[in-house]
Chains A and B, each alone.
Chain A
């Protein structure tokens, strides 16, 4: 979807290194989310943001931090990557009144070796 882009699309990194994933939107939506998708677990919320500099934890936030300094950008940082963080990461955006729920990005496949 042209309104939301994730970068990089693929990344391989070594255990113990910091990694930052970027989500960029052009829709001026208030809410932004980071999810991870793993087999047998579906979509699990890592962190979300309800405005610039306003963020909160989701159900699987340990080992992750986020920042949102501008409406359009939401960064997810793995402070020290571990193999258990190998996953596909999805960013999503929404407005609370949007009946279509979230718009998801295309995902970032992260492999920690």
Chain B
């Protein structure tokens, strides 16, 4: 049973426009959420996170929104740049600790010049 779902395997956007990546979860015990970015031939790297006590967290061009009632989070990238082209993984944990993260399958974002 997949507890963290990224239903869009891929997304293509134009440079300068907004990219919106979505993630749904089923486990109501999840209270901490993270996004990772992965380039080919490299390990995933941390991008941004959000605690369940918040509904929004911003870091530069990246904003994560959390809707707990819908068990849904989204990552907004504005404006999108070609260097943002990568696979994005959504991850979640429970108990306020990140020692055991559950990952989604990832979404391949392509930003076209």
Q: With the chains together, A96 CA to B45 CA distance in Å? A: 17
Q: Which residue of A lies closest to B36 (CB)?
A: A101
Given A1-B43, A42-B105, A104-B43, the answer on whether A96 and B97 have CB atoms closer than 8 Å is yes
A56 to chain B, nearest CB (A): 9
A-side interface residues, number (CB < 8 Å): 25
Check: B30 CB closer than 8 A to any chain A CB.
no
Interface of B is mostly: loop
> Contacts A100-B46, A101-B49, A106-B43 known; A42 to B103 CB distance under 8 Å?
yes
B20 within 8 A of A: no
B67 at the interface (CB under 8 A from A): no
Smallest distance from the beta carbon of A45 to chain B beta carbons, Å?
A: 8
Quick check: A98 and B98 within 8 Å, CB to CB? Answer: yes
Known: A90-B43, A90-B44, A107-B42. Contact between A102 and B104, CB under 8 A? no
When distances are taken between beta carbons in the complex, the residues of chain A under 8 Å from B98 are 94, 96, 98-99, 101-102
> B49's contact among A31, A35, A41, A99, by CB below 8 Å, is which?
A99
Nearest Cβ on chain A to B93's Cβ, whole angstroms: 8
| Chain A residues at the B interface, C-beta cutoff of 8 Å | 1, 31, 35, 40-44, 48, 50, 90, 92, 94, 96-107
